[in-house]
Structure 1
């Protein structure tokens, strides 16, 4: 199957930007006009938009669902955890690695270890203001609270970098879903679209394993009670 037919499977939309009167946007305009019918035929419900305005930087963008894991891997791989003197911050790198190694499945199981009680229930403190003093709940959820406290401590360390390090990394990662196409020809535009397609495929392709029957039961879930 052509990669063009998979655009709507892995990307939420594509937006092209161009200046209608600038030669620097000619390649983007030509690619869009030439390929629009084919792309819409292969992806009928896929938002494929062109935005034109004077002096616009020609580009193509999409919107991807980045996760915290994606951001931390990006920061580690690109060496963005740096102290004021320019050296790599081992403390923040180790905190990021520890966060990435969190056993989310175990944490989900531990959350329901106290029958009939959910520590993440909305308005819990308003409904049961003294729940934290309940010895049985504290005992049942000791592992969950320990994992949650460790995760919070890791995030505090990760976000403690100087010069808005974390926010700047978030913005840099978001820019990965935009390709500037100043003076690019139609072939370069197509390669940019392919790049976004491959990026979306990497992030959004998931193998779903549907069990033949219920193999796990989390105590404490009201709607699962017989």
Structure 2
């Protein structure tokens, strides 16, 4: 029961694939039909979808965001850093381990060592094209730039593998959020959903880093409206009940004279 109620907390959606006429998809079809109502009651906002196509491979999948750290750990654990002769590439493995050992807290602190300046601000090169020539900024952010350069060099080594090694590893990692269920029974389908739940719980327990700059602005109302009797700002129904009579204050705000006060 507990994992079923937590699906919507850790997973953005759950998709089932099945062929309606194939016996190999019978387990997926039966599980979906028998458990949809129960799962939907526990997770009313979670999309539980099934796509039925002729000759479809029965499967269940979800959508999760992987980080570079997850990808590098996956490549190290599965031995995907290989040279053309099939041997493990020690250079790329060491570069991946060095990237994983990056002190992210220190990098975040060093980013703000120059007062009033953010080297990661979007559009910085367009707004201040000569900022890289500022000696004060270079002195304050020297450690930050050295750490960023080291990370860039490490990623360049990591992605230098033959035969699109890095891209193929990305695709392989994405397939970890899909479970094929050919001729699977209902219990196997449930275990696949539990696997996706545990995967989402692991990923979503990461602390979310909020942006350090304002990306969107929401202007307030040009002229606020108040009712002297029904404060705070009245709703549409209350405004209609009050039969407001507009009046202007010295500050230019639009006041609402409630007809009930007349």
Give the TM-score normalised by structure 1.
0.90
Give the drift of 1:207. Answer: 7.0
Deviations 1:11-50 (A, max 9, x none): 1110000011111111100000000011011111111001
Deviations 1:133-158 (A, max 9, x none): 11111111100000000000000000
After superposition, the Cα gap between the structure-2 partners of 1:206 and 1:138, relative to the gap in structure 1 and judged at 3 Å, is closer
Structure 1: distance between partners of 2:99 and 2:105: 14
1:127 equivalent to 2:121? Answer no
Structure 2: distance between partners of 1:29 and 1:125: 54
- Per the alignment, in what secondary structure is the counterpart of residue 79 of structure 1? coil
Structure 2: distance between partners of 1:185 and 1:70: 31
Give the drift of 1:2. Answer: 2.0
Provide the residue aligned with 1:211 in structure 2.
none
Structure with higher helix content: 1
After superposition, the Cα gap between the structure-2 partners of 1:206 and 1:118, relative to the gap in structure 1 and judged at 3 Å, is closer
Query: How many residues end up aligned between the 2 structures?
Result: 211
Structure 2: distance between partners of 1:202 and 1:127: 40
Give the drift of 1:205. Answer: 2.3
Give the TM-score normalised by structure 2.
0.78
RMSD of the TM alignment (CA)? 1.7
Provide the residue aligned with 1:186 in structure 2.
186
Largest Rg, 1 or 2: 2
1:154 equivalent to 2:131? Answer no
Structure 2: distance between partners of 1:2 and 1:81: 39
Give the drift of 1:123. Answer: 2.0
Structure 1: distance between partners of 2:96 and 2:65: 20
Provide the residue aligned with 1:116 in structure 2.
116
Structure 2: distance between partners of 1:152 and 1:13: 34
- Dislocated runs of 4+, deviation >3 Å: none
Provide the residue aligned with 1:43 in structure 2.
43
- Per the alignment, in what secondary structure is the counterpart of residue 76 of structure 2? helix
- Per the alignment, in what secondary structure is the counterpart of residue 17 of structure 1? strand
Equivalence map 1:1-226=2 (5 Å): 2-206=2-206
